[in-house]
Amino acid sequence: MTNKLALFGGQATITDVPPAYSPIGEEESLAVQKVMESGVLSKFLGCWHEDFLGGPQVRAFEEEAARFFNVKHAVTVNSWTSGLIAAVGAIGIEPGDEVIVSPWTMCASATAILHWNAIPVFADIEPETFNLCPESVEKSITEQTKAILAIDIFGHSANMKALKHIAKKYDLKLISDSAQAPGAMVGDKYAGTLADIGGFSLNYHKHIHTGEGGIIVTDSDDYAERLQLIRNHAEAVVKDKGVTNLSNMLGYNFRLGEIECAIGREQLKKLPMLVKQRQKLATLLKTHLIGLDGLQLPIIQDNHEHAYYVFPLVLDTAHLGISRGRICQALEAEGVQGIGQGYINLHLLPMYQEKIAYGSHGFPWSAEFCKREVNYAKGICPVAEELQDSSFIYLAMCMFDYEEQDMLNIASAFKKVWSNLGELQ
């Protein structure tokens, strides 16, 4: 194979596209068939009734998830977006309250805050793990701050020890959005179980999935009840159930069906194996990329595991003298699939720049209960902004069903590009 870059007419390093990642197998098909034969596709009733908590598959999945993650309660929902909305509501957020959140995450993490007419406040991220920076969080606290919503981005848990210390110091609630980190360990506990409320996505491109869905976890009996109520038409249930705290008892249909929960039960059994596979592949790739000039490899903090939803990388473009786009163009020409550039800066989305969410008059920011002018200008999160603008790239580990040879091929493509950096300049 010639060392000439494929971008300039050479032979590509990788010629075969790996198959799409799918953890769904025969076990899930049989589980679905049993549900279909039972004729019970959902058993939820939106009133206080023995079926308020759903059917046999829902309850079994929740019991198994609670045991797996070693928590008192697991509550299934039809999406992790629904889970985030329910979690923010369950902790008793009031209109005008501020919740500190990362800008470097899927948009639902912040819009779940707006859903309750609370105000997202964006703190910056760490350049190593891309999670909320505790120092930036503490600097962002005001009299209106009521909670921190931490994201375990890409599969690595946020610094929950530091964030829990801050939450205790300022009497704040702590939510963990571990959508991308199911199965990752922090010491002897699972990511997502270290906050007042946490949870995981079961969306189709995650480690395990039910098509769409989510699992909320908590050790609080009170929060579990409130999560269940918000999930299933709370306002119609509270009277007969004897619930007297009516704060945020606006209910929804966030219910996950029997088919999805039957699939989830089988998927949960596979989670440890699937995470270990991703970790093994990522370690192999990392080993073969060590020493490439100007390339920051994934950094794992002490006592943490990484679930590698994506394989995150940072380019020192100033040192290399080559733009991120040019390097990614060369890697893609070499046949590397799933390469992405940047991620997102939520505070720069039109909704926050214009401060228009509900209606067209700036609500909730324009409401009387919003006590101060919250700043979303570019520059408030310099680490996240620089990563987004020029230096962050990633390999989407959950996009393809990679094998060890694929990792070796990807490493060869990187090495080939790096051996021809002069041409790219």
Q: Is 337 helix (H, G, I), strand (E, B) or coil?
A: coil
- The end-to-end CA distance of the chain, in Å, is 23
The pLDDT, as a whole number, for residue 425 is 87
Residue length of the chain: 425
List the beta bridge partners of residue 76: 215
Cα angle: 326, vertex 16, 208; to 5 degrees: 90
User: In 3-state terms, what secondary structure has residue 339?
Assistant: strand
Paired residues of 121 in beta bridges: 100
pTM of the predicted model, to two decimals? 0.97
- 3-10 contacts at long range (C-beta below 8 A, 24 or more positions apart): 3/416, 3/419, 3/420, 4/420, 5/330, 5/333, 5/334, 5/416, 5/417, 5/420, 5/423, 5/424, 6/330, 6/333, 6/334, 6/335, 7/329, 7/330, 7/333, 7/334, 7/424, 8/423
Q: In whole angstroms, how far apart are CA 308 and each of 200, 242, 376, 399?
A: 14, 44, 30, 11
**CA 11 – CA 27 distance, rounded (Å):** 41
Do residues 297 and 381 touch, judged by C-beta distance below 8 A? no
What secondary structure letter does DSSP report for 74? E
What φ, ψ does residue 176 adopt, rounded to 5°? -115, 115
In degrees rounded to 5, what are phi and psi of residue 335?
A: 95, 10
**Distances from the Cα of 116 to the Cα of 158, 206, 249, 357, angstroms:** 24, 27, 11, 12
Assign a CATH topology to domain 6-21+270-342+385-424: Aspartate Aminotransferase, domain 1 (3.90.1150)
Pairing of strands 197-201, 173-177: parallel
CA distance 364 to 44: 33
- Looking at residue 2, its pLDDT comes to 66
- What count of other Cβ atoms lies within 10 Å of the Cβ of residue 10? 16
Burial (CB count within 10 angstroms: exposed 0-12, middle 13-18, buried 19+), residue 143 = exposed
Residue ranges of the chain that CATH labels 3.90.1150.10? 6-21+270-342+385-424
> Under a CB-based contact definition with an 8 Å cutoff, are residues 376 and 101 in contact?
no
Which CATH number fits the domain 26-268, given the four candidates 3.40.640.10, 3.30.342.10, 3.40.190.10, 3.40.50.300?
3.40.640.10
Digit-by-digit pLDDT tens for the chain (425 residues) are: 468 999 999 999 999 999 999 999 999 999 999 999 999 999 999 999 999 999 999 999 999 999 999 999 999 999 999 999 999 999 999 999 999 999 999 999 999 999 999 999 999 999 999 999 999 999 999 999 999 999 999 999 999 999 999 999 999 999 999 999 999 999 999 999 999 999 999 999 999 999 999 999 999 999 999 999 999 999 999 999 999 999 999 999 999 999 999 999 999 999 999 999 999 999 999 999 999 999 999 999 999 999 999 999 999 999 999 999 999 999 999 999 999 999 999 999 999 999 999 999 999 999 999 999 999 999 999 999 999 999 999 999 999 999 999 999 999 999 999 999 999 98
Quote the CA–CA distance of 377 and 321 in Å, as a whole number: 29
